[in-house]
Amino acid sequence: MKLFFIISLVVLIPLGNLFCQDKVYLDTTGKEISFTEFQVKWRDRDTLRTRWDYIGKDGKRYCQLKKTFMLLEKFKLMK
């Protein structure tokens, strides 16, 4: 049983990496940024940016930040 489990892990883990999509991170202007810079801008409570993910024609997954004015107005009303 242990041998079956080990063989399964050795075979399945590399197969999972074959099907992963490349991710491209974009800021609100469409400029490509790093993952850490994307996370910092996305989690900033003062700007209230939202994340939009889509698949491009090249098969890559694009993660873009958008300014959401409706959220800004709701947040101001809640204060």
Question: How many whole angstroms separate alpha carbon 36 and alpha carbon 43?
Answer: 11
Is 35 a domain residue? yes
Q: Is residue 44 in some structural domain?
A: yes
Under the banding of pLDDT at 50, 70 and 90, the label for residue 24 is very high
User: Does any domain span residue 2?
Assistant: no
Q: What span, in angstroms and rounded, lies between the C-alpha atoms of 61 and 51?
A: 12
Give the 3-state secondary structure of residue 55.
strand
39 in a structural domain: yes
In terms of residue numbers, what domain contains 43? 19-78
Whether residue 13 lies inside any domain: the answer is: no
- Report the distance separating Cα 8 and Cα 44, nearest Å: 42
In a domain, 33, yes or no: yes
pLDDT tens for residues 56-72? 998 899 999 988 766 55
pTM: 0.62
Contact assessment for residue 44 and residue 67, using Cβ atoms and an 8 Å cutoff = no
Is residue 52, in this structure, part of any structural domain at all?
yes
User: How many domains does the chain fold into?
Assistant: 1
